[in-house]
């Protein structure tokens, strides 16, 4: 628990969460969601929760972002808000 | 400002609640279905973050026993028993000397959250499948457009 | 609508934040969650009773094995539900008009890289499953990595080409086999006279001490979880990426 490290990651976490929901291009939203997942994984690794971090790295930043991009490809890419 | 003093040690819980509320707001108010699903996923990971932060202990290590602790536990029984170096029946009080619960993070919280991550990805998959089916039927993935198409008669 | 949502969210957030002052301090070793007798019991008793150093895997596969079995069933159900929602069969040999079929010629860099990386990824996935007892890992993480290697193959080449390696029937068989292995371990314990998923009785079949039998059954159960997770991850991807037709991927 290094305070400065965790604080910077938390600030980035809030910023990526807000940006991922505000961009109009859905492909960028999925990719920024992948960044959000990866930052979560770093946070948990810093809290000594290694199993949870491993699972989130494999599932969130890997498979979940791919599912989102596959769906965006098959539906439309622009969103109105 | 003792209120400020009392809260500033717990500022990280406030940040977790802010992230949860960002996800909840997206789920309620966004019109696009994929943005709603991204909001749901943000909400779920923020809740898991909150739970994992409960099990943290200051100065503790990961919940996996050290290499030398494992061998010390085996070595105790090796010399307590007779000639063969096999693992005999373990007496718990011998190994208790080496394991101090204050040195390890709480493993119960991690176990519950592993299941939560798994269920989260499954739910995301089903939600995305429903989104594709809606696009197939109505031609758009915006909530207000779908409602208009339904109201004006299918 | 957005104003109402903002008010509701702000109200919920204020309620939660006003409860924060009752929370224990960060990193307190004697907070109620950490001084609970079960939390301390799991830390001190896991190695003497099961000889597995990784406490999280031991609790997940042995002490809370019933939960993990139903978590596997949840993943299986999600895969089946996606097949039920999306799967359809187009005209047999004709080109499906609404799919944007652009035939790409095989790219040399992508092909070579995938040919080098995919065996290493699969080997690493098997390592993660097998070493769940001594390092972070276990059935679920290894299964996701293995499934991701198939997704990489489908992304590099065509979905049709990958279906020669993992056709749909084989994938669903694999998923069912995983749950069958997990429940099979439980029923084997029942047949030998003990409780469901009480692994210590399996030492009669395996020929080791009861404590080692728990460690080995945990490995068997994690292999079952890995089978199901691999199959369902690839099945979900192929259904989502091809919009149900399973003919043309991303």
B103-131: pLDDT as tens digits: 888 888 999 999 999 999 999 999 999 99
pLDDT for residue B32: 92
Taking the Cβ of residue A60 and every Cβ of chain C, the question of whether any pair is shorter than 8 Å is answered with no
List chain B residues with CB under 8 Å of C27: 56-59
Q: Which of B31, B38, B105 to mutate to test the interface with A (most CBs of A within 10 A)?
A: B38
Mean pLDDT of all residues belonging to chain C: 87
Taking the Cβ of residue C211 and every Cβ of chain B, the question of whether any pair is shorter than 8 Å is answered with yes
In this complex, do B19 and A17 lie within 8 Å of one another by their Cβ atoms? yes
Residue C4 placed within a domain: no
In this complex, the residue of B18, B38, B132 whose CB is nearest that of residue A29 is B38
Residue C248 placed within a domain: no
Mean pLDDT of all residues belonging to chain B: 80
Mark whether B6 and B36 lie in a shared domain.
Answer: yes
Residues 6+ apart with CB under 8 A from C105: none
Mark whether B10 and B48 lie in a shared domain.
Answer: yes
Residues 6+ apart with CB under 8 A from B75: none
Residue C66 placed within a domain: yes
Q: What is the mean pLDDT of residues A64-81?
A: 90
Bridge partners, residue B32, by sequence: B142
Taking the Cβ of residue B61 and every Cβ of chain C, the question of whether any pair is shorter than 8 Å is answered with no
CATH classification at residue B30: 1.10.287.3510
Residue B78 has pLDDT above 50, yes or no: no
How many independent structural domains does chain C possess? Answer: 1
pLDDT for residue B89: 41
Mark whether B52 and B112 lie in a shared domain.
Answer: yes
Q: CB contacts < 8 Å between B and C, how many?
A: 173
For residue C75, give its domain range: 54-241
Taking the Cβ of residue C17 and every Cβ of chain B, the question of whether any pair is shorter than 8 Å is answered with yes
C-alpha span between B46 and B20 (Å, rounded) = 6
Mark whether B44 and B8 lie in a shared domain.
Answer: yes
Q: Give the gap in angstroms from C-alpha B82 to the nearest C-alpha of chain A.
A: 38
C-alpha span between C196 and C208 (Å, rounded) = 20
Q: Any long-range contacts for C104-112 (C-beta under 8 Å, 24+ apart)?
A: C106/C157, C110/C156, C111/C156, C111/C157
Largest Cα–Cα distance of chain A, in whole Å?
43
pLDDT for residue B11: 85
pLDDT for residue C99: 54
Residue B41 has pLDDT above 80, yes or no: yes
Mark whether B84 and B120 lie in a shared domain.
Answer: no
C-alpha span between B61 and C250 (Å, rounded) = 42
For residue B11, give its domain range: 2-56+106-151
Pinpoint the alpha helices (H) of chain B: 2-8, 11-29, 33-54, 67-80, 92-96, 107-138, 143-151
Residue B79 has pLDDT above 50, yes or no: no
Would you state the structure tokens that stand for residue C140, as one six-digit string?
A: 């679920």
pLDDT for residue B86: 38
Residue C81 placed within a domain: yes
C-alpha span between C165 and C119 (Å, rounded) = 14
Q: Which of C45, C53, C88 to mutate to test the interface with B (most CBs of B within 10 A)?
A: C53
Taking a C-beta distance cutoff of 8 angstroms, is the pair C145, A58 a contact? yes
In this complex, do C250 and A59 lie within 8 Å of one another by their Cβ atoms? no
Rounded to 5 degrees, φ, ψ at C209 are: -70, 160
Tens-digit pLDDT profile for residues C8-45: 999 999 999 888 888 887 777 788 888 888 888 888 88
Residue C88 placed within a domain: yes
Report the C-alpha dihedral over residues B142, B145, B151, C1, rounded to 10 degrees.
70
Residue B19 has pLDDT above 50, yes or no: yes
| CB hemisphere CA count around C245 (13 angstroms) | 22
List chain A residues with CB under 8 Å of B60: 48
Mark whether B39 and B110 lie in a shared domain.
Answer: yes
Nearest to B16 by CA among A41, A57, C20, A56: C20
pLDDT for residue C90: 74
Taking the Cβ of residue A55 and every Cβ of chain C, the question of whether any pair is shorter than 8 Å is answered with yes
Which pLDDT band, with edges at 50, 70 and 90, does C89 fall under?
confident
pLDDT for residue B80: 42
Mark whether B46 and B113 lie in a shared domain.
Answer: yes
Q: How far is CA C192 from CA C77, C196, C221, in A?
A: 30, 10, 17
Mark whether B100 and B118 lie in a shared domain.
Answer: no
Nearest to C152 by CA among C228, C224, C246, C233: C233
Q: What is the mean pLDDT of residues C94-123?
A: 77
The neighbours of chain A, by the rule of 3 or more Cβ pairs under 8 Å, are B, C
pLDDT for residue B97: 54
Global pTM?
0.89
């Amino acid at each position: 628990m290094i305070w400065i490290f965790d604080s910077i990651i938390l600030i980035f976490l809030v910023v990526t969460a807000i940006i991922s929901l505000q961009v109009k291009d859905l492909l960028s939203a999925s990719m920024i969601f992948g960044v959000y997942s990866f930052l979560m994984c770093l946070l948990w690794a810093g809290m000594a929760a290694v199993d949870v971090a491993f699972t989130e790295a494999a599932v969130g930043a890997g498979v979940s972002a791919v599912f989102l991009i596959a769906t965006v490809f098959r539906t439309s890419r622009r969103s109105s808000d | 400002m003792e209120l400020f003093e009392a809260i500033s040690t717990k500022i990280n819980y406030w940040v977790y609640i802010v992230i949860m509320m960002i996800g909840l707001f997206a789920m309620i108010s966004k019109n696009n279905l994929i943005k709603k699903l991204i909001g749901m996923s943000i909400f779920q990971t923020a809740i898991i973050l909150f739970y994992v932060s409960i099990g943290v202990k200051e100065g503790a290590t990961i919940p996996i026993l050290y290499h030398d602790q494992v061998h010390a536990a085996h070595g105790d029984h090796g010399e307590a028993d007779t000639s063969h170096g096999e693992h005999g029946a373990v007496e718990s009080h011998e190994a208790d000397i080496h394991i101090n619960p204050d040195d390890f993070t709480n493993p119960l919280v991690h176990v519950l959250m592993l299941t939560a991550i798994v269920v989260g990805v499954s739910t995301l998959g089903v939600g995305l499948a429903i989104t594709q089916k809606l696009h197939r039927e109505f031609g758009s993935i915006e909530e207000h457009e779908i409602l208009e198409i339904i109201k004006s008669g299918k | 609508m957005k104003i109402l949502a903002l008010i509701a969210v702000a109200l919920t957030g204020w309620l939660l934040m006003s409860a924060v002052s009752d929370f224990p301090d960060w990193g307190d070793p004697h907070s109620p969650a950490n001084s609970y007798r079960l939390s301390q019991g799991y830390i001190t008793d896991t190695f003497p009773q099961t000889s597995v150093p990784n406490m999280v895997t031991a609790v997940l596969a042995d002490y809370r094995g019933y939960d993990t079995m139903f978590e596997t069933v949840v993943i299986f159900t999600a895969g089946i539900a996606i097949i039920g929602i999306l799967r359809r069969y187009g005209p047999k040999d004709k080109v499906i008009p609404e799919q944007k079929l652009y035939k790409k010629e095989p790219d040399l860099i992508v092909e070579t890289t995938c040919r080098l990386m995919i065996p290493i990824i699969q080997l690493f996935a098997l390592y993660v499953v097998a070493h769940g007892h001594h390092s972070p890992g276990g059935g679920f993480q290894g299964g996701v990595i293995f499934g991701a290697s198939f997704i990489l193959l489908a992304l590099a080449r065509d979905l049709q080409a990958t279906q020669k390696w993992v056709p749909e029937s084989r994938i669903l068989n694999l998923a069912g086999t995983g749950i069958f292995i997990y429940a099979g371990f439980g029923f084997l314990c029942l047949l030998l006279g003990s409780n469901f998923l009480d692994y210590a009785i399996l030492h009669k079949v395996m020929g080791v001490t009861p404590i080692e039998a728990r460690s080995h059954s945990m490995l068997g159960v994690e292999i079952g979880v890995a089978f199901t997770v691999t199959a369902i991850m690839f099945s979900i991807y192929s259904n989502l990426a091809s919009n149900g037709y399973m003919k043309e991927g991303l």
